[in-house]
Amino acid sequence: MPSTSLVNDLFEEICRIPLIDPHSHIDPHHPVSQHLDDILGYHYYTELAHAAGMSQAPLHASVEPRERVRAILGHMDRYDNSAQYAWFLDIARTFLGFTGERISAGDTDALCDAAERIFRDPGWEAQVFRQSNLEKIFLTNEFDDPLSGFDTNKYVPCLRTDALVFHLKQPEIKQRLERATGVDVGDLPALKKALRKLFEHFTGNGAKACAISLPPDFAPKGPDANAAFWMLAELCREFRLPFDLMIGVNRNVYRGGVHQGRDLFDQRCSLIQYQELFNAFPEVTFCVSVLSSGMNQELVSHAWIFPNVVTCGHWWYSNIPTYIATDLRARLQAVPKTKQIGYYSDAYKLEFVLPKYNMYRRVLSEVLASDFVETGRMTDRQAIDLARQILRDNVQSIFKV
């Protein structure tokens, strides 16, 4: 129902809001791409090409990057309907000067040449920040990351804790923890002491969040059921860090899949599993990401009732326009606007911030236009203010950046 010009006007204005991206996998030592292979090596492309019939041979480390790109582009006409293809087209047009209508295998050399030339510019990182209107971006740091050698004001550290909660029984993880903290982790009090040292190290180096991804059957019932997880929540309370919960991923489902292309989910997961946690830690803000629209309906209701539950982004398999639209619409209609973290890029390379946020901003513009402006509930200006609230202001207030 909304007019195209209204949607375009909103989109244009929303693109002017400087971004603070609250979740990514950027390596701050190598934040941008060097070769087109860094772009197309992203699991979204390798897994789609593989799912569409590409063998894994081109993915071997021994294969020349350009030949890997050629193989992935060579299968692109099998998935050029996808949102992921649209991201790549946006990258090619915005960053690589591509002017064609569609990208196919025949564009391999021209795109690789352009990428090598453009990416080698010493100002490339700064240019991507500028063209993406990006101000800061959160990282995903392993617990023993020294957090040194980069600007933590721009690349905001975040303590990722999957290994501590799920793999502490592996000798290697335990040793890494002991090495990082100097604590002999022999019992629970020692574990708490070691974890506290991590929090001191991280918050001392500008970390603004603690994060974890959780399988569908995880149900944190209390300190006895999963001591390490409960301690992390206690330390989030003590150090006043929000706790990002990324709920519902089954790891390694497709065992023959490409790197990072093996995980799936089980829709039979419920936020009710987290009720003890949400009740026990009213002082901790839980920024919750989910993988299905069924769970999003639960998330909307939980954020509407629990003061400490916040909706967070559109994660992974839910990060395509139609599910973003469904999930966003419900959040905008029922969750206090101060409790919504609109989006994060989840990017491994900075070049992906722009196309992913563009996808989100396009959907956001459409939803604001149809549900708020066209209905007379808001003026254009108020709709843009709402967009700024969920895109930027809430990231600042919730993560204290």
Residues 278-317 that bind a copy of itself (CB under 8 A): 278-279, 282, 292-295, 297-298, 300-307, 317
- Identify the residue among 133, 152, 270, 392 touching a copy of itself (CB under 8 A): 270
Judged by beta carbon, residue 82 or residue 127, the one nearer a copy of itself is 82
Kindly state whether residue 323 participates in binding a copy of itself, applying the rule CB under 8 A.
yes
Kindly state whether residue 277 participates in binding a copy of itself, applying the rule CB under 8 A.
no
- Of residues 229 through 258, those in contact with a copy of itself by CB under 8 A are 250, 253-257
- Of residues 338 through 377, those in contact with a copy of itself by CB under 8 A are 338-339, 371-372, 374, 377
CB of residue 175 to a copy of itself, shortest distance in Å? 32
- Of residues 2 through 41, those in contact with a copy of itself by CB under 8 A are 2, 4
Report how far residue 382's alpha carbon sits from residue 71's, in angstroms, rounded to the nearest whole number.
Answer: 47
Phi and psi (nearest 5°) for 205?
-110, 30
CB of residue 169 to a copy of itself, shortest distance in Å? 24
Q: Using CB under 8 A, which of the segments 15-23, 133-141, 155-163, 270-278 binds a copy of itself? A: 270-278
Kindly state whether residue 82 participates in binding a copy of itself, applying the rule CB under 8 A.
yes
- Identify the residue among 105, 227, 264, 401 touching a copy of itself (CB under 8 A): 264
CB of residue 372 to a copy of itself, shortest distance in Å? 8
- Of residues 39 through 58, those in contact with a copy of itself by CB under 8 A are 47-48, 50-53
CB of residue 324 to a copy of itself, shortest distance in Å? 10
> If we measure between CA atoms, which residue out of 116, 104, 108, 95 comes closest to residue 34?
116
**Pairing between strand 158-160 and 155-156?**
unpaired
- Of residues 121 through 150, those in contact with a copy of itself by CB under 8 A are none
Judged by beta carbon, residue 177 or residue 300, the one nearer a copy of itself is 300
Report how far residue 7's alpha carbon sits from residue 262's, in angstroms, rounded to the nearest whole number.
Answer: 37
Name residue 287's beta-bridge partners: 244, 310
Half-sphere exposure (CA, 13 Å, Cβ side) for 127? 12
CB of residue 362 to a copy of itself, shortest distance in Å? 8
Report how far residue 257's alpha carbon sits from residue 99's, in angstroms, rounded to the nearest whole number.
Answer: 33
Judged by beta carbon, residue 194 or residue 300, the one nearer a copy of itself is 300
Kindly state whether residue 226 participates in binding a copy of itself, applying the rule CB under 8 A.
no
Name residue 55's beta-bridge partners: none
Judged by beta carbon, residue 28 or residue 248, the one nearer a copy of itself is 248
Judged by beta carbon, residue 31 or residue 257, the one nearer a copy of itself is 257
Kindly state whether residue 74 participates in binding a copy of itself, applying the rule CB under 8 A.
no
Kindly state whether residue 219 participates in binding a copy of itself, applying the rule CB under 8 A.
no
- Identify the residue among 15, 83, 118, 228 touching a copy of itself (CB under 8 A): 83
How many residues bind a copy of itself, per CB under 8 A? Answer: 74
Q: Which x/- pattern, by CB under 8 A, does the window 84-113 give for a copy of itself?
A: x-x---------------------------
Contact 57, 270 (CB under 8 A): no
Kindly state whether residue 79 participates in binding a copy of itself, applying the rule CB under 8 A.
yes
